[in-house]
Structure 1
Amino acid sequence: MSTLLFMVFVLFSLNAQTDFKEYQGKVIDGKTNKILEAASLSINNTNISTITNSEGYFTLKVPNNKLDSKVLVSFLGYNTYVVPLSELNTEKTIIELFEAVTELSAVNISSYQNAESLVRKVFSDKSVNVGDESVFMTAFYRETIKRRHRNVSLTEAVVNILKQPNSSKQRDAIQLGKARKSTDYKRLDTVSVKLQGGPFSTMYLDIMKYPEYIFTDESISSYNFSFNKPSTINNRTVFVVDFTPKGNQLALNYKGKLFIDVQSLALVSANYFLDVSNMSKTKNLLVKRKPSDVVVYPLEAIYKVDYKEKGDKWYYSYSNLSLTFKVNKKRQLFNKVYTLSSEMAVTDWEVNTTDKKIKNKDKLRPSIIITDAISGFSDPNFWGKYNLIEPDKSIESAINKIKKNIEKQKDKAKTANG
């Protein structure tokens, strides 16, 4: 079985647009005021969407010709909220979602007493639920590196994705659009950490397109599956299936949850993680290249993927991964702990009826290290009309500090040359 690993290198060494309206706000639990991370906001009857960040905040940019539309706000386990855009403030809108009470009918409960048979059916019958056509997507990608709890590197990009039909042997292609990065190399100290794959690392989490990374016909039998309490997404009931490995039959063990639509039996979402408890087994597992005197131990590896329904088909919508690892270097007193996170949100898409293509010269390589392909940071209006994931306050703070340092260095250089 192929492994769902995204290799880490450990090495030494536009103008603002006016044809849209921007809405900003926060999504919270209406009863507890808890922030809701990765809540989805979609414009009705379009493929335009965005998600909330880890602090519950969102920015949604809507074309002027769609301002009479409604926005649908949804989150797993909550009732979907629908509101006309005309009733939203452009700033500081607070949207409250309320937990849904979920019950399965006796028919649904008795249909699948065996959770494994349900999971097998989801993957064997995926052609019924997953569109088998070429799709052209616009997505926002973000990659961050933290040392302990401090942001030291940020890379952001708008990418075009050409998703090939599931029945096609052609590979999906990604084209880099707008991009920027900011890195505090002093905080990275003597070690630089890089994620191989860039946007591909998140796209490969689309397990309906790439099931070989976790569930194959053979590997499914190596897991225990069990039903958990059902939940709700977009006002529809979903089965919740827990999975854990049977002993140590697999080279790599994953644990997690699958959320399966009761009506269509489509996969709606998956949350899972890699078991890294056996340090001798996982030592250097995430590393492709490193110095001989360095040992890397993964401390955490978490994965998530979401899908959205359009018509009677489901499409890849969002994914993220978070890798935390400890870097040990001989003759150094303190170990370094890094967290590398990346996420990709599809913000618009269309069925590729016009046979759009991405030229070979514009295609990113699956082995790309995107931080090496991008240089510089731009003005606040850099993204223009593109939807993106609102940055966390900690990221904004890191960007501002780095930009100030860059300006200081420029001023010093001018003084020295003056």
Structure 2
Amino acid sequence: MRNLLISFILLFSLPAVAQLQVLKGRVVDSSTQAGVAYTNIGVEGTFYGTASDAQGFFELKIPEEYKNDQLFFSAVGYQNQMLPIPDLLKKDFLKIALAEQTYNIEDVDIAAHSRVLFRIIKTAAKNIPANFHQGPLGVKFYYEEETKPNNDSTEQKREAVVELYDETAYRSPSITDAFNKRNYQFSQVKKNFESYSIPTGKTGFDELLEMDIARLSNGILNEKLLNNFDLKLENISQFNGDSVWIISYKTSKTDLAHTGDYYATKYDGQIYISQNNYEILRNECVVEASRNNPHNRSLATTSQDQNQVSYHYTAVYQPQNGKYFLSYLDCDKTFVDVDNQQTTYSRKASALGITTSPVKISGKDYFEDETYVESFWKSFERPE
């Protein structure tokens, strides 16, 4: 009883600890009320934020220092929205309605407006060798992938440490250079299934790497293709004291050259470019395709393994020693398989560190059969 009384006194005599307040809600289309998937949600002027899930639901913890700031909502194909955090904190559950972004080709200013945006993107593409690390470059990634069949099958999960060797890095960005000069190997793996065959041993790391738009300099960053994109300045935001252009883009030419997907039917994106030296900070896309080759979205196929495909991917770039490099990639994908079952998978790669004196790697681990090392995973700290 005495110990209980002491604990009670201590509890009420300790100074109050600031609690994180949590915002919960759903982002919806203002017209259809359907959830808006993968909406960027963040505190204006910072990199702090989250994204809505495939159904538009989200949850965000608000630190004390941000409780009086503004929260922005940005989704590909929709108008941005900015709301005061104090007002949002008053509600138990939020419903954020976004209006669809329209492109009015009748607007007399659209031609001049587009020319400015074209120049920004062309300059950003041209400045990639100057703004990004040149090779040789080594990057160590924490990689995770989850496959979730919408049936009774068990969810499969693979975690790994992947070492990437890039002989030239961003010195000569192109699809061909990236394929020829980048190799990688899986050094540590933890998974809840056995790699007893080629399909189960196959990884999706190579396809994920192809979404590094700065390294491949493809799609919107290919000057020969740029005129086939519709551009729109969505916002100018402050990030760490630097202004950033947020430019949305889409194209009706959904072939392999423009989208990186052999069977794409829709390709909408947003790219973040610094006003400082035209550094590319972030790129994200929403893609729909009639089908995909299960080995890589860029390949042709006659199989029915992936039909009615929809996916969203993001690439993020950060500086180290004054030069930028790929720091994060993710892709969330949904498709209907040959048995007419819907399947969802998620792939993510987070950089753990880089080196400009890497050990050369030959070849690519398209398949892995690494042995699980318990001691490594017990001490390994996963990035947030």
Shared fold, TM over 0.5: yes
Does the residue aligned with 1:382 lie in a helix, a strand or coil? Answer: helix
Q: What letter is aligned with 1:267?
A: I
RMSD: 4.0
Q: Determine the structure 2 residue equivalent to 1:117.
A: 119
Cα distance change of structure 1 residues 287 and 310 upon mapping to structure 2, 3 Å threshold: closer
Q: Determine the structure 2 residue equivalent to 1:233.
A: 239
CA contact (8 A) 2:160 2:190 kept: yes
Task: Return the structure number with greater relative CO, CA threshold 8 A, min gap 6.
Answer: 1
**Equivalent residue for 2:346, pick from 341, 348, 372:** 341
Cα distance change of structure 1 residues 273 and 217 upon mapping to structure 2, 3 Å threshold: same
Cα deviation per residue 1:187-220 (whole Å; 9 max; x = unaligned)?
A: xxxxx97695532222222211112366422221
Q: 5 Å matches for 1:236-275? A: 236-246=242-252, 252=264, 253-275=266-288
154-163 vs 130-139, which deviates more?
130-139
Cα distance change of structure 1 residues 126 and 294 upon mapping to structure 2, 3 Å threshold: closer
Q: How many residues align?
A: 281
Cα distance change of structure 1 residues 320 and 101 upon mapping to structure 2, 3 Å threshold: closer
CA contact (8 A) 2:163 2:186 kept: yes
Q: What letter is aligned with 1:164?
A: E
Q: What letter is aligned with 2:155?
A: V
**Equivalent residue for 1:369, pick from 367, 370, 375:** 367
2:134 aligned with 1:167, yes or no?
Answer: no
- State the alpha-carbon separation in 1 of the partners of residues 278 and 250 from structure 2: 21
2:183 aligned with 1:178, yes or no?
Answer: no
Q: Determine the structure 2 residue equivalent to 1:44.
A: none
- State the alpha-carbon separation in 1 of the partners of residues 383 and 63 from structure 2: 17
Cα distance change of structure 1 residues 195 and 342 upon mapping to structure 2, 3 Å threshold: farther
Unaligned runs of 5+ in 2: 1-18, 26-37, 49-60, 73-111
Cα deviation per residue 1:363-407 (whole Å; 9 max; x = unaligned)?
A: 434xx134xx2465x64x5325544246xxxxxxxxxxxxxxxxx
CA contact (8 A) 2:236 2:243 kept: yes
- State the alpha-carbon separation in 2 of the partners of residues 226 and 94 from structure 1: 30
Cα deviation per residue 1:260-297 (whole Å; 9 max; x = unaligned)?
A: 11212111011111134xxxxx2455567999884631
Q: 5 Å matches for 1:6-405? A: 32-33=22-23, 77-79=44-46, 98=66, 99=69, 114-148=116-150, 152-165=155-168, 166-167=170-171, 169=177, 171-183=181-193, 198-212=204-218, 215-246=221-252, 252=264, 253-276=266-289, 282-284=290-292, 294=304, 296-329=306-339, 335-352=340-357, 356-360=358-362, 363-365=363-365, 368-370=366-368, 373-374=369-370, 379=374, 382-389=376-383
Q: Determine the structure 2 residue equivalent to 1:188.
A: none
- State the alpha-carbon separation in 2 of the partners of residues 311 and 342 from structure 1: 28
Cα distance change of structure 1 residues 305 and 33 upon mapping to structure 2, 3 Å threshold: same
Alpha-carbon distance, 1:338 to partner: 0.6
Q: What letter is aligned with 1:228?
A: E
- State the alpha-carbon separation in 2 of the partners of residues 127 and 263 from structure 1: 16
TM-score by length of 2: 0.61
- State the alpha-carbon separation in 2 of the partners of residues 131 and 308 from structure 1: 11
- State the alpha-carbon separation in 2 of the partners of residues 215 and 145 from structure 1: 31
CA contact (8 A) 1:80 1:97 kept: no
CA contact (8 A) 2:21 2:63 kept: no
Does the residue aligned with 2:162 lie in a helix, a strand or coil? Answer: strand
TM-score by length of 1: 0.56
